Amino acid sequence: MKMAFEEVRLSLPHIELAAHLYGPEDGQPVIALHGWLDNAASFARLAPKLPGLRIVALDFAGHGHSDHRPAGASYAIWDYVHDVLQVAEQFGWQRFSLLGHSMGAIVSVLLAAALPERVERLALIDGLIPYTGEADSAPQRLAEALKAQMALAGKRKPVYAEFERAVEARMRGVGAVSREAAELLAQRGLMPTRGGYTWRTDSRLTLPSPMRLTYAHAMAFVEQLQCPVNLVMAEQGMLLAQPRFDELLANRPIIQSRLPGGHHLHLDDEDGAQLVADCFNSFLRPS
């Protein structure tokens, strides 16, 4: 299924972000948030299968065609939460739903738990909480992050002589994807450079986190969710492999579906996108 989208740039008070707009202007407002190192094309298959919604599929800061954060800034997960809230403000949406994949799902949970009065519904794909770290590991984690940050200036992004080589690299990357999915992400995520192509993404996105939420922190956000939540889990994805995952969902009023496919099941092929859409259509457009 094909569906036209509008390419827009959103001038927020602190940064300019790019996005794809899908659906009618008077549709149910939804902000779609992609995963780490992906971009708005993550929803190229799924968004057309969700009629009646006004979907703003963002490029997160540092991803796709969005601006990079200024020198000296970082990419903390809560900074993405602030970005999303500013996007909603720009559209004049006091209440909206969130459609999140992987890191985008995590950002969605943080925002919905922190400001429940703003978020109508959560539709999550193979993501719920960030990787956590306990207090005793914090000094070592900060040391590793600082060393990596100091070494970043001496590193260069990979350059691919041909577009196809970049596609093949993305197929093998974190959260491996199908060739068609890799092509969609690469079409938006690559830029020409001397010698071929390289990724638009900010190199700082690959730095290790200097600090992680503890498991108790993560649990607190899940416990504070007040809106309806619909979680799609990929049988060959990443979410089910997280430690203590069953404990996280125990006795939670969360709609849960396990679907065949990998971490990018909503993008890998049309059949997977349709299965995800079947889970979300009536949920995001309640009668």
Residue the block writes with tokens 């259509």 = 281
- How many angstroms separate the CA atoms of 66 and 47, rounded? 20
- How many angstroms separate the CA atoms of 263 and 42, rounded? 12
Token representation of residue 30: 């939804």
| Active-site residue flag, 257 | no
Listed in sequence order, the residues at least 6 apart from 124 whose beta carbon sits closer than 8 Å to its beta carbon are 100, 101, 105, 108, 109, 229, 230, 231, 232
- How many angstroms separate the CA atoms of 201 and 184, rounded? 15
- How many angstroms separate the CA atoms of 24 and 54, rounded? 6
CB 126 within 8 A of CB 232: yes
Pairing of strands 190-193, 119-125: unpaired
**Which of 42, 97, 102, 108 is an active site residue?**
102
Listed in sequence order, the residues at least 6 apart from 123 whose beta carbon sits closer than 8 Å to its beta carbon are 30, 97, 98, 99, 100, 230, 232, 279, 280, 283, 284
Closest CA to 42 of 110, 111, 127: 127
Catalytic residue numbers, as ranges: 102
